[in-house]
Amino acid sequence: MTFAELGLSPEIQRAIDELGYTEPTPIQARAIPLVTSGTDLMAAAQTGTGKTAAFVLPLLERLKKFASASASPAMHPVRALILTPTRELADQVGENAARYTKYLPLRTTTVYGGVNMDPQTAELRRGVEILIATPGRLLDHVGQKTVMLNKVDILVLDEADRMLDMGFIPDIRKIVALLPKTRQTLLFSATFSPEIKKLAAEFMRDPQTVEVARQNSTNADVEQLVYEVDAYRKRALLSRLIRQRDMSQVIVFCNTKLTADRLTRELQREGLAAEAIHGDKAQSARLETLAAFKSGEVKVLVATDVAARGLDISELPFVVNYELPHSPEDYVHRIGRTGRAGASGVAISLMSPSETKFHEQIEKLTRQKLTPQQAEGFAPGRAVEPSADAPRGRAERDARHDKGERAERGERHERSDRHERRDKPERYERADRAPRGDRHERADKAAERKVIRVDRYPQDNRLLEDDGRPDTPRIPGRRRRPGDKREVSALLLPPRYK
């Protein structure tokens, strides 16, 4: 089947021809006719199979009758609303929509958080037919009355499993309440759980379901490898894999922002061109980092799950799970960043002993066996031998923490002082006490001078006269010693003692 057989208008067909689209993917071939007919749809397909075109192209086909070249904002109300969970995904969908509408007088714009609202407000006031947004920023614009949603004909939830997650449900319900009752609702995602389907039923009317692959399955073109390694050795193993496999581009996924920043600093100290991207980064910095990664200036992109959805990098060869995700669905999305559009890729996961349960959940969800293997010199519980491709300093520190060396060090410390003195007598020459005769001689001289030394308060050590009184005035604030006479001012005494 070709795109020409799908019955798209000449303007849309011309745009996709210039992009090099010839044959639709399975999800596109099945979803485009259903969306064009106006039915509600739930579509599940592996990530990287062209879901964006599967809903944007038929959406344009339905909206072309509203296309207008008028400059009046009233002629360009929002008729299609596309919601995405991340800014990167919103930006990607917006770029694709702009390409597809090249020969149609339909306006598109993208709004998301992390950037100034003023340019977005100006675009909305000019009027747009297709609005791509993240839920939080869209509600901000609704609150400022810069956008009206009362004429929306089509609602699209991209990555619906995350959009309908409990964290997004309140915002989604607020937005849906602002839309017309009669509309078309489309849900596209790579994963659908029974709970998600139940929640989706609240927003849809008799939806059709399309699954072009087994639910929650992974791409067959992606080679999946799992390495067993201790948690504190993961960074060293990652460095070795990057060098041994000559990874020109790789996305390394971490579970937390703190881990992503720390790993980035360590890789940079080793001379690797690495940058981090996560939710705490400013949007401008995130876009700059992504641009540098796509251009090849950045070799290693260390990211949290903010990059697990929406990053479309052509021919990305490697993805590494530095930490296994706590949600097995996120694993499907992470490794979906490679092997896109029919290309092959490699997904490597570093599993510590404490992450075994996450590995079992991934196998259960994907229904495939991912047999862990061990990298040479990095088996759990064994020492790491320093090598040319790993910095000696860190490798030696890792080796010193190994159980075998700790045991050896313990045995060495169990040797008696007698053996130590016999083997290395020079270490104890200065520590030995003075001869007995010298000690007695010093004691006799001290007795003659009537030296009293208060060891409990070294700062108070001083020579005392025969009567026991100090030879210097008492220092104000100094702690009184036993034997010192207490002086009381006459002003403080009762009248009878004056």
Query: What does the pLDDT look like over 39-82, one tens digit per residue?
Result: 999 888 766 678 889 999 999 999 999 988 888 988 999 999 99
Query: CA 159, 162, 164, 169: dihedral to nearest 10 degrees?
Result: -130
- For the record, the structure tokens of 249 come out as 């581009």
**Nearest to residue 377, comparing CAs of 225, 250, 228?**
228
What pLDDT is recorded for position 395?
42
Q: What is the DSSP string of 342-354?
A: G--EEEEEEE-GG
pLDDT over 60 at 472, yes or no: no
pLDDT-based confidence at 441, cuts 50/70/90?
A: low
pLDDT over 80 at 438, yes or no: no
pLDDT over 60 at 89, yes or no: yes
- What is the arithmetic mean of pLDDT over 458-465? 44
pLDDT-based confidence at 166, cuts 50/70/90?
A: low
What pLDDT is recorded for position 287?
82
Start and end residues for every CATH 3.40.50.300 domain found in the chain: 3-211, 222-382
Q: Does the structural domain 3-211 have CATH classification 3.40.50.300?
A: yes
What pLDDT is recorded for position 85?
86
- What is the arithmetic mean of pLDDT over 210-239? 84
Sheet holding 222-228, edge to edge: 222-228, 345-351, 318-321, 250-253, 300-303, 274-277
Sheet holding 108-111, edge to edge: 108-111, 130-133, 80-83, 154-158, 184-189, 41-44, 208-211
Amino acid of residue 375: A
- What is the arithmetic mean of pLDDT over 478-482? 59
Q: In whole angstroms, what is the distance from residue 105 CA to residue 71 CA?
A: 11
What pLDDT is recorded for position 377?
87
- For the record, the structure tokens of 491 come out as 């002003």
Tell me the CATH number for domain 222-382: 3.40.50.300
pLDDT over 90 at 140, yes or no: yes
How far is CA 344 from each of CA 162, 317, 333, 336, rounded to the nearest angstrom? 26, 7, 16, 11
Give per-residue pLDDT as tens, 248-262: 899 999 999 999 999
Query: H/E element holding 284?
Result: helix 283-295
Non-local CB neighbours of 186 within 8 Å, separated by 6+ positions: 35, 40, 41, 43, 55, 154, 155, 156, 157
What pLDDT is recorded for position 57?
94
pLDDT-based confidence at 471, cuts 50/70/90?
A: very low
